[in-house]
């Protein structure tokens, strides 16, 4: 039997908790922690534990779209 693949959407540092909570409550995903190397600003080479949503590919495509829309609403920009 083939093992089902899961995909992660890592939330960038500073992502509003309200958006993360809405994703977890709306979609069939699991909240997980991942160690990621950061390569921007003054964090070059730092490894941080970041949170991510984990789910099946089809679900994660919808989660990413939803996340972008909510983030754009939060910062007051229109999607491109």
Q: Which residue has the tokens 């919808």?
A: 62
For the whole model, what pTM was predicted? 0.78
Average pLDDT over residues 34-45: 71
Q: What pLDDT is recorded for position 78? A: 59
Tell whether 1 is covered by a domain. no
Give the Cα separation of 36 and 33 in Å (integer). Answer: 10
Mean pLDDT, rounded, of the chain:
88
Give the number of domains in the chain. 1
Residue 18 has pLDDT above 60, yes or no: yes
Token pair of 12, please? Answer: 């960038």
Rg (C-alpha) for the chain, rounded Å, is 14
Residues of the domain holding 57:
7-75
Tell whether 63 is covered by a domain. yes
Give the Cα separation of 14 and 34 in Å (integer). Answer: 16
Beta strands in the chain (DSSP E): 7-10, 30-37, 47-55
Tell whether 46 is covered by a domain. yes
Residue 43 has pLDDT above 70, yes or no: no
Tell whether 71 is covered by a domain. yes
């Amino acid at each position: 039997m083939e093992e089902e693949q899961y995909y992660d959407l890592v939330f960038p540092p500073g992502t509003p908790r309200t958006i993360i909570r809405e994703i977890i409550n709306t979609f069939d995903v699991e909240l997980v922690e991942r160690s990621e190397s950061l390569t921007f600003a003054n964090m070059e080479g730092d490894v941080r534990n970041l949170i991510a949503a984990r789910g099946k590919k089809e679900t994660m495509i919808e989660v990413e779209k939803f996340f972008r829309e909510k983030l754009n609403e939060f910062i007051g920009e229109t999607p491109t």
